[in-house]
Amino acid sequence: MVIEILKYLKARYVSEKAQGIVEYALILAFVAVIAAALFGNDGIQGSIEKVFKNIEGLLQNGAAKSGADT
């Protein structure tokens, strides 16, 4: 009877510790990805600026082509 209780407690708390470790590892990985995005080569701001500059260039090229056709 006592052995069964010990086995139950061991299984319960060992699995919860393992689950906690996995959760902390996932949080740490998420923070590392966010930090890499923020403090990378250009960071998020540089990437967003590039996207808007590319869109601006595409719009200007499209306006120039449509103006040339008319």
Structure tokens at 64: 């120039």
Segment 44-62 mean pLDDT: 86
Indicate if 1 and 16 belong to the same structural domain: yes
**Rounded CA Rg of the chain:** 27
- The pLDDT of residue 6 is 75
Structure tokens at 35: 């930090």
Indicate if 3 and 17 belong to the same structural domain: yes
pLDDT at 10 over 70: yes
Residue 30: give the domain boundaries. 1-39
- The pLDDT of residue 50 is 87
Segment 38-56 mean pLDDT: 81
At residue 40, the 3 state secondary structure works out as coil
Indicate if 11 and 28 belong to the same structural domain: yes
Indicate if 1 and 34 belong to the same structural domain: yes
